[in-house]
Amino acid sequence: MSASEDRPATRSGTAAARDDGGGLTSAVVVVALVSAISGLLYGYDTGIISGALLQITDEFGIGSGWEQVIAASILAGAVVGALVCSRLSERLGRRTTLLVVAAVFVVGSLAASLAPNPLTLSLARIVLGFAVGGATQTAPVYVAELAPTRYRGRLVLFFQVAIGVGILIATIVGATESVDWRVAIGAAVVPSALMLGLMLRLPDSPRWLVKAGHRDQAREALQRVRPPGTDVSGELHEIDELVEAERTASTRGWRGLREPWVRPALVVGCGLAVFTQLSGIEMIVYYSPTILTDNGFSDSAALRVPVALGATYLVTQLIGLAIIDRVGRRRLTLLTLPGAALALVVLGTFFVTGNDGQAQVPYIIATLVAFMAFTAGGIQLMGWLTGSEIYPLATREAGAAAQSASLWGTNLLITLTLLSIIDTIGTGQTFWLYAAFNIAGFVFLYRRMPELTGRSLEQVEHELSAGRFTPADFARAR
């Protein structure tokens, strides 16, 4: 069988021309709010450790080894959560999986805030990580499968924006210095409980209900999230076709990712995920106060810097999201990566040449902000976005899970080793190392990543199945 014959069928003309699902309803807004809360918790729970580590180190009397373990433990849980929740959402449904994720957020936040020692804190953050990984895997899919077509992109992006909001809130809490780290971490219980309560009011994904053989419940779910009187028959028919195409495809699921014609998408997707982390953003988000205090900054100054970085992250993400469809995914990534690399080279030079004293503080902070702007407004937008676009329909969920696990796994490796690398080769040299990673990412994506902007999912899959998945192939096909 040829690759093109192996592909799942695309939508019929009738289904493609169906009504777009009408306007927004309160139920759809609540769905988007749940996704936003899960994104906020992701940003907050990963970002709060940045400032909290200074207090935790003093209270427990620990060194850089334990600091790395505490910071990285949430990422170990995220790898497991992304992979496990991918399967849970297929077997139990998106709604049930998100209920589990919300409950785990509550338990993990409480356990971390009450931890009596660094080991218990690390274990609690592994539990939190499971919820973080599960949320990143499930929440955007849940929104996409319930939102009306005309609002789908904007509602799914609530999750991405909320991550930036969570990081910013975490940095502000850390900068106050008056909030005990246990209170700061435990505060995540409130949005976690709100997410759990809201999920109890929502239906499951119509697409999952059809796959599970509950077509009447799928119709009821659509009617609950569409304006009163909307005829959902056309939308339900399209879901029937998509589910049938997925069910009959011989290339599907995790096994389908090993097919030669799917492999280029997997290489690009997972490679992009790896380089979003090797960009150095997690080094800055998790450890900037630690790095700065170790190099002579006061605690107050070191804790204020992440607030500027968090605000920059959020603002540049919003700018990036506003222009990405006009500039293009590939072009925006390639335009911003050199700027990030240059910023890290300059940062490294400050520290290597000894120009890291009080007089240079404004320049160091400005360079950190420039790095954050180039990274957050560029490659960081692509890590989650491409997972929903680059893979064939029948392997999309498995591909997104593999990409998510690659991202979290790389993040885990970086967080576990960063302070040790700094101790071994020096702060400035470490910044230079990550500058080299950005250059390598530029080369990889320049050679491998096609421009997906302006192409439907069916067009992307068609080019992939035909063996035309290079940047040059996509440029010729325009």
Helix (H) or strand (E) holding 247: helix 233-248
**Residue 13: per-residue pLDDT:** 40
Q: Which residue has the tokens 């419940």?
A: 217
Backbone angles phi, psi at 377, to 5 degrees: -85, 5
For residue 164, the SS3 value is helix
- CA dist 440 to 332, 344, 380, 474, Å? 16, 14, 16, 22
Residue-level pLDDT at 284: 81
State the average pLDDT over residues 160-168: 87
Phi, psi of 66 (to 5 degrees): -70, -35
pLDDT tops 50 at residue 166: yes
- Domain annotation for the chain: domains and CATH numbers: 22-202 (1.20.1250.20), 253-478 (1.20.1250.20)
| pLDDT attached to residue 8 | 43
Question: Distance between CA atoms of 413 and 397, rounded to whole angstroms?
Answer: 24
Lowest mean pLDDT among 189-193, 231-235, 357-361: 357-361
In sequence order, what are the residues at sequence separation of 6 or more whose Cβ sits closer than 8 angstroms to the Cβ of residue 100? 85, 88, 134
pLDDT score at 6: 43
The SS3 call for residue 297 is: coil
CA distance 406 to 275: 10
Pairwise CA distance, residues 437 & 376, whole Å: 16
pLDDT at residue 25 in the model = 81
In the chain, % of residues over pLDDT 70? 91
pTM of the predicted model, to two decimals? Answer: 0.77
**Distance, CA of 462 to CA of 4 (rounded, Å):** 7
Single-letter residue type at 460: V
Structure tokens at 15: 């289904």
Query: Which tens digits make up the pLDDT trace of 77-117?
Result: 988 998 898 889 888 988 999 999 999 999 999 999 999 99
pLDDT at 189: 95
Q: What is the pLDDT of residue 333?
A: 92
Q: Given pLDDT bands bounded at 50, 70 and 90, which one contains residue 250? A: low
> What is the DSSP track for 387-444?
GGTSS-GGGHHHHHHHHHHHHHHHHHHHHHHHHHHHHHH-HHHHHHHHHHHHHHHHHH
From CA 257, how far away is CA 243, in angstroms rounded? 18
Q: How far apart are CA 477 and CA 458, in angstroms?
A: 14
- Rounded mean pLDDT, 27-54: 87
Return the pLDDT at 441: 95
Contact 410, 432 (CB under 8 A): no
| Residues 196, 103 contacting (CB under 8 angstroms) | yes
User: What's CA 435's distance to the chain center, in Å?
Assistant: 22
Q: Which one-letter amino acid corresponds to residue 466? A: A
Place of tokens 């006061």: 298
User: Distance from first CA to last CA of the chain, Å, rounded?
Assistant: 28
Higher pLDDT, 270 or 457: 270
Please report which confidence band the pLDDT of residue 274 belongs to, taking 50, 70 and 90 as the band edges.
very high
Dihedral sign of CA atoms 305, 308, 311, 312 in order: negative
Positive or negative, the CA dihedral 263, 268, 272, 275 is positive
CA-only gyration radius of the chain, Å? 22
Mean pLDDT of 219-238: 86
Tell whether the model's pLDDT for residue 247 goes beyond 50: yes
Residue 469 phi/psi, 5° resolution? -130, 30
Mean pLDDT value of segment 54-65: 89
